Structure 1
Amino acid sequence: MESLQTTSIQSDQAPSMKHSKRGGWTTFPFIIGAVMGLTLAAGAGSANLIVFLVTVMNIKSINATQINNIITGCYSLFPVAGAVIADSFFSSFYVVSVFAFVSLLGLIMLTLASTIHSLRPPTCAIGSLACEAPSKLQYAVLYLALALASLGVGGTRFTVSTMGAEQFNKPNEQGTFFSWYFFTLYLASAISLTAIIYVQDSVSWGLGFGIGVVANAIGLAVFLLGKRFYCHTKPKGSPFVGIARVLVAAIRKRRKLETFQSQGYFHGDNTKAISSPTESLRFLNCAALRYEDDRKSDRSYSSSWWLCTVEEVEDLKTLIKIMPLWSSGILLSTTIALINSLTVLQALTMDRHLGPRFKIPAGSFLVFSILATALSISIIDRFLLPMWKNLTRRSLKPLQQIGIGHVINIFAMVGSALVETRRLRVVRTHHLNGEPPGPVVPMSGLWLVVPLLVIGVGEAFHFPGQVALYYQEFPTSLKSTSTAMISLLIGIGYYLSTAIIDSVRRSTGWLPDNINDGRLDYVFWLLTAIAFVNFGYYLLCTKFFKYQNTENHENEASA
């Protein structure tokens, strides 16, 4: 994994580690153990949610789908809120501890709802008009359980990754941690999509949710056991207030530059700050200029909505510079989300048998992508990156990793289009058009595995690369928020994919109820075009982007 560079960690944490002997690889098993347990717990509560709502809670399928979409969106968007709390008010340790306990409560309630008869409606045949809907009490318990589970994931998933990175003061060690973090995340997700779903479907829902409770409890316990080994970073208050102050102060002072003589730039208590702000985005610099009327009654200066520090000005500039790069990940996530959902539709029409008795569930095909990502991350970190460094004498930078991921994702879109073209050719050869669901297409569903594997390899490059980039480039006060930006990309990507599908259905005939009568291959070629154009946009963003702390980058690369 590309080396990460953050001056704050090196200057602020290194001395603490030296004297207290905290942090470092001693904390690794505790944090990774927590990631494994908490991710398994999250999968137990969400991977098979639609089936639970329909078969156990007697909720109509469309309503169940809407509930699932809301929960999935919350799982992706809430981590940003958790990261902001960690950055602004409490340390990452306390945020993870509290929200891990919250998710535990949610899973306990889901377990009770699936096992206690009074907390769920009477069992009936799926789709029967005589099914009794949940009572108000049953709905209340269900919604509270799902809300607690969502909040729990929001407060832990990416906050714990930031805390893990804070334990290391060497950039290459931080990068290695992020690789193993993603490996564990995907491995636990794969277990949830296979083993836990099997238990829920074939054994009992209570046992399936109970496994999640045990996994959550173990993850929380392991995390708490490492408390005395962790290096803790104290929050410095909400960084977003400082950002807002810069904008307000810059606007207020835009006319004072010509009429007042400044007293230099304001640095606050930071004696090591640079003497003046950078020349980029110069209109923001006036927010840090001191004027006579900025003085307080005791003739001193302090941060306010009229005066900001140079550091606050530079933090806002950093965010503005990196946001175009971040935005290039939205369509990348959107194409992946679309492939995942459309692949399930394809699988439902194809031969999914492995041998005479076993049939792969359509929804389980996505596990191939997750496994490919987990395996690829390990190979990339252990073999490809060291090999690259030995050959070039330089580490592979985050922007390069992300770019490789973009290219691989384009190939995955092309692969999906070619597989669908072949599937439709078989459909027309055997005259399988007609009303849904239609007969099974005599073509193995394993053809779908190939593009899914390619997508998984691409994710192994661009997702860890993006986390490394944001952690490295975001202001020190926004480190937790930086790692949660990936989750925000995924959430927006899933919502945008829904909008694209709706737009395609309204304007074309490519996506009828029976995809055998449609042109799903055209949809995949459209995604290929979107991915290609988005890659061009990404290259344009990289052309105007410059790494911070360039000298440290070069030193790390040559080390």
Structure 2
Amino acid sequence: MEIEKFNGVSFELCKLKMEDLLVDRDLWVAMTATSKPSGMKQEDWDLADKKARGCPKSCVRRATIAVLQPKQDGKLYDFFLYFSKNDIHGGLDFVLMQKINLQGELTKNSEESKHNSKFNELEGFVDWKGRPARKSSHGGKRAVYFVYAMTILDNLAFVGSIINLVTYFMMTMNMELAEAANTLTNFVGTTFLLSLVGGFISDCWLTRFKTAIFSILIQIAGYLVLLIQAHDKSLWPPQCDRRDLTAVCVKVSGGKSAMLFVGLYLVAIGNGGSRASLAPFGADQFDERDPDERGNVSHYFNMLFFCVTVGSTLGVTVLVWIQNYKGWDKGFGISAGVVFFGMICILLGCTSYRNRIPQTSPLTRILQVFVVAFKNRKLQVPENPEDLYERDDKEAILVTDRLLHTDQFKFLDKAAVETENGKGKSSWYLCSVTQVEEAKIIVRMMPIFASTVLMSTCLAQLQTFTVNQGVTMDRSMGKNFEIPAPSLAVIPLLFLNFMTPIYDRFVVPLARRFSGHESGITHLQRIGIGLVLSAISMAIAALVEVKRKNVAIEKGMEDFIPILMPPIPMSVFWLGFQYFVFGISDLFTYVGMLQFFYSEAPATMRSFATSFTFASLSMGYFLSSVFVSIINSATRNITGSHGWLHGHNINRNHLDLFYWFLAILSILNFFNYLFWSSWYKHKPVDLYEPSIKQSKEEI
């Protein structure tokens, strides 16, 4: 900036903030004088230049706020009013609120007071009664505490149940190990897959708040069905004597099986819907156009993950102990109760929320682009992207909707080529550049999404086969206490409970100093670190399983029967190594995915895009079931156990080879991820308004 000082206020800080904005938006380019760097294409330089123009605008506003007083230079004051009275967007409501704070209470009923009242309203948001939401009374940090409470209670119930369900399926419902593992992974996979449905509904039909409430009610109904079956033994399959090695256990079937699956999948529908709506609902409480509030989004997602770990810790300890020692009926009853209490917490904050107004179906908008592009497949795309059709700013519901043109997937640009047949008609005949870019964003996300699926497959093993390993090992802790095998997951969870706040409060600010990124490191870097750690976790799991089997062979305990015989003389804490490494992996990848899909998605489809995180988990669990079935079939005739993972006896199986298989696949998948993450182009938001130039000249 050419002006170094105004009214004694230095602009040096303003210049530094401008550099931070450029770095944050990947627009910081080293160059000499005003020449473009060698090796950069002219069109790339022009695009970066256009995107960078919004950074000085933001900094000029902050500088204006810093020196503004009612009796100061008239032209500067007029410049400020120019922003107010010409409906210039991009943080206007933030500027106006700062102006009110500096000047004191404005004259009631004055024209300027009415104007400021108008821009205190948040476009695209309403309160619980359907009235326009106001920045001063809705949203912010106070609103997300209710979301945090629900997240803790929901994960207490859900994680505490799924971590131990394999035991319930095998010991009560008489399923074999592989079938029990597949039943669990299919259930969890369906739960996360249904988050796509929940995200779709909250984006285009119901608000995210209403979607969450209805989903929670369905989830409670599912737990109640499971409670009834677990309480009434007549709804169980015939129980058998597991001490008799020749006994044939009849697994659950018929109406009893139907009741089990009705309960499970009511929980799946409800939990999937609430997960898809609650995470973006909390992020909606912060305004991305307000520089101060925008920085809270990263903190929110870190704290959301912290709440997930706190709830999960309580689930795998307290709830698992109740299930094992007090009965599954009491366990399901507590799950229903805590989820109901979580719903009450959400309802208590209803008057303080910002509720985003549902818009057009995101799938419809994407489909329109492909349909119109196909119709216009014979047309030529103009060489100048500015010749493509773009909607008028007044048509945009949110300023963050307006996206700049990118060069990828040029075929889709044909949907924005104006024709005589398309003028004045619906989006099934002509799409705007912004709508085309929304479709491109979703397409660009798909390789990133696919690259994270295998990590979820690795996670599935920690909730199935690793639990079964723990059942065979020495779980004593002192003379009178025995750790339930599913509670081993508490090892990484306790570590994450301690590390997540440290990461958010200390590591992120430190990394921000070096990277200039609001989150310390980019979302894609965070995901990549998690993928590497998941591969290491599977390698550790394979080594531990080799040692466990060797101990069983040395002690002649290959035919060990859990519960009925003494455990293998090897501490269950050996399994803590793989849990610990994968826990760190989850800290990076889970939060990175939530932030990536939320921040990159168009504003009108953020619930749907955020649910890609849970859909990735879903695909991972389904892939685990596929791997188990295929590997058992492929190795049936070459192993004495009739398959690597066949039957009840884990000591006769080859779980170690399955872990090595996943470790090698994870390494290959990481290199696949590196390729796609370097190819990915971030969302190009247009933050530049030509009218800024005119207003600067007026000063």
> Normalising by the residue count of structure 1, what TM-score does the alignment of the two structures yield?
0.85
- What is the SS of the residue equivalent to 1:443? strand
Distance 2:250 2:402 in 1: 69
Give the C-alpha shift of residue 141 in structure 1. 5.0
Q: Do the aligned partners of 1:511 and 1:518 also contact (CA within 8 Å) in 2?
A: yes
Instruction: Tell me the residue number matched to 1:530.
Output: 665
- Residue among 524, 544, 561 paired with 1:419: 544
Q: Do the aligned partners of 1:432 and 1:441 also contact (CA within 8 Å) in 2?
A: no
Instruction: Tell me the residue number matched to 2:379.
Output: 256
Q: Does 2:512 correspond to 1:389?
A: yes
Distance 1:175 1:433 in 2: 50
Instruction: Tell me the residue number matched to 2:678.
Output: 543
- The gaps in structure 1 that reach 5 residues or longer are 553-559
Distance 2:24 2:286 in 1: 10
- What is the SS of the residue equivalent to 1:354? coil
Give the C-alpha shift of residue 18 in structure 1. 5.0
Instruction: Tell me the residue number matched to 2:583.
Output: 456
Instruction: Tell me the residue number matched to 2:406.
Output: 278
Q: Does 2:427 correspond to 1:303?
A: yes
Which of structures 1 and 2 has the larger relative contact order (alpha carbons within 8 angstroms, sep 6+)? 1
Change beyond 3 A, Cα 1:303–1:198:
same
- Residue among 247, 259, 274 paired with 1:156: 274
Q: Do the aligned partners of 1:45 and 1:107 also contact (CA within 8 Å) in 2?
A: no
Change beyond 3 A, Cα 1:19–1:354:
closer
Instruction: Tell me the residue number matched to 1:557.
Output: none
Distance 2:223 2:91 in 1: 39
Q: Do the aligned partners of 2:557 and 2:568 also contact (CA within 8 Å) in 1?
A: no
Change beyond 3 A, Cα 1:511–1:39:
closer
Distance 1:55 1:521 in 2: 24
- What is the SS of the residue equivalent to 1:111? helix
- What is the SS of the residue equivalent to 1:96? helix
Give the C-alpha shift of residue 435 in structure 1. 4.3
Distance 1:529 1:543 in 2: 22
Q: Do the aligned partners of 1:268 and 1:303 also contact (CA within 8 Å) in 2?
A: no
Partner amino acid, structure 1, of 2:141: W
Distance 1:4 1:125 in 2: 63
Q: Mean alpha-carbon deviation: is it higher for 539-548 or for 461-470?
A: 539-548
Instruction: Tell me the residue number matched to 1:556.
Output: none
Q: 1:221-248, CA deviations, whole angstroms, 9 ceiling, x for partnerless residues?
A: 1101111100110111211111111111
Instruction: Tell me the residue number matched to 1:400.
Output: 525
Q: Mean alpha-carbon deviation: is it higher for 160-169 or for 185-194?
A: 185-194
Distance 2:205 2:572 in 1: 50
- Residue among 222, 235, 253 paired with 1:120: 235
Distance 1:512 1:324 in 2: 33
Distance 1:367 1:159 in 2: 27
Q: Does 2:262 correspond to 1:147?
A: no
Partner amino acid, structure 2, of 1:501: V
Distance 2:327 2:650 in 1: 34
Distance 2:259 2:542 in 1: 44
The 5-angstrom pairing of residues 75-154 of structure 1 reads 75-115=191-231, 120=235, 124-125=239-240, 136=255, 142-154=260-272
Q: 1:359-389, CA deviations, whole angstroms, 9 ceiling, x for partnerless residues?
A: 3233332332333344332221122212222
Partner amino acid, structure 2, of 1:159: S
Q: Do the aligned partners of 1:4 and 1:471 also contact (CA within 8 Å) in 2?
A: no
Give the C-alpha shift of residue 253 in structure 1. 0.7
Instruction: Tell me the residue number matched to 2:556.
Output: 432
Q: Do the aligned partners of 2:404 and 2:686 also contact (CA within 8 Å) in 1?
A: no
Higher gyration radius (CA): 2
Q: 1:8-67, CA deviations, whole angstroms, 9 ceiling, x for partnerless residues?
A: 9968998426555210011022111122223333346545445556666x5655776665
Q: Do the aligned partners of 2:415 and 2:430 also contact (CA within 8 Å) in 1?
A: yes
Corresponding pairs, count:
538
The 5-angstrom pairing of residues 175-190 of structure 1 reads 175-190=298-313
Q: Does 2:415 correspond to 1:287?
A: yes
Q: Does 2:619 correspond to 1:484?
A: no
Instruction: Tell me the residue number matched to 1:470.
Output: 597
Q: 1:294-315, CA deviations, whole angstroms, 9 ceiling, x for partnerless residues?
A: 24xxxx33322x3222221111
Q: Do the aligned partners of 1:121 and 1:134 also contact (CA within 8 Å) in 2?
A: no
Instruction: Tell me the residue number matched to 2:112.
Output: none
Partner amino acid, structure 2, of 1:383: F
Give the C-alpha shift of residue 120 in structure 1. 3.1
Indicate the structure with greater helix content. 1
Q: Mean alpha-carbon deviation: is it higher for 229-238 or for 323-332?
A: 323-332
Q: 1:169-215, CA deviations, whole angstroms, 9 ceiling, x for partnerless residues?
A: 23321111111111112221222222112223322444322222221
Q: Does 2:440 correspond to 1:317?
A: yes
Instruction: Tell me the residue number matched to 2:501.
Output: 378
- What is the SS of the residue equivalent to 1:313? helix
Q: Mean alpha-carbon deviation: is it higher for 530-539 or for 388-397?
A: 388-397
Distance 1:286 1:276 in 2: 15
Q: 1:414-451, CA deviations, whole angstroms, 9 ceiling, x for partnerless residues?
A: 322333343345455x2637446597443222111112
Distance 1:472 1:36 in 2: 24
Give the C-alpha shift of residue 92 in structure 1. 0.2
Distance 1:457 1:14 in 2: 41
Q: Do the aligned partners of 1:373 and 1:459 also contact (CA within 8 Å) in 2?
A: no
Distance 1:122 1:422 in 2: 36
- What is the SS of the residue equivalent to 2:569? strand
Q: Mean alpha-carbon deviation: is it higher for 25-34 or for 99-108?
A: 99-108
Change beyond 3 A, Cα 1:353–1:274:
closer
Change beyond 3 A, Cα 1:27–1:4:
farther
* CA RMSD, Structure 1 to Structure 2 (Å): 3.6
Instruction: Tell me the residue number matched to 2:625.
Output: 498
Change beyond 3 A, Cα 1:481–1:352:
same
Q: Do the aligned partners of 2:542 and 2:657 also contact (CA within 8 Å) in 1?
A: yes
Give the C-alpha shift of residue 77 in structure 1. 1.3
- What is the SS of the residue equivalent to 2:378? coil
Change beyond 3 A, Cα 1:419–1:550:
farther
Partner amino acid, structure 1, of 2:556: L
- The gaps in structure 2 that reach 5 residues or longer are 1-22, 26-53, 55-88, 94-118, 123-132, 288-292, 688-699
Q: Mean alpha-carbon deviation: is it higher for 338-347 or for 324-333?
A: 338-347
Distance 2:364 2:685 in 1: 28
> Normalising by the residue count of structure 2, what TM-score does the alignment of the two structures yield?
0.69
The 5-angstrom pairing of residues 225-264 of structure 1 reads 225-257=348-380, 264=387
Instruction: Tell me the residue number matched to 2:285.
Output: 167
Q: 1:265-311, CA deviations, whole angstroms, 9 ceiling, x for partnerless residues?
A: 3334544786973322111111111211224xxxx33322x322222
Q: Do the aligned partners of 2:157 and 2:334 also contact (CA within 8 Å) in 1?
A: yes
Change beyond 3 A, Cα 1:374–1:256:
same
Instruction: Tell me the residue number matched to 2:479.
Output: 356
Distance 1:275 1:129 in 2: 64
Q: Do the aligned partners of 1:263 and 1:292 also contact (CA within 8 Å) in 2?
A: no
Give the C-alpha shift of residue 150 in structure 1. 1.9
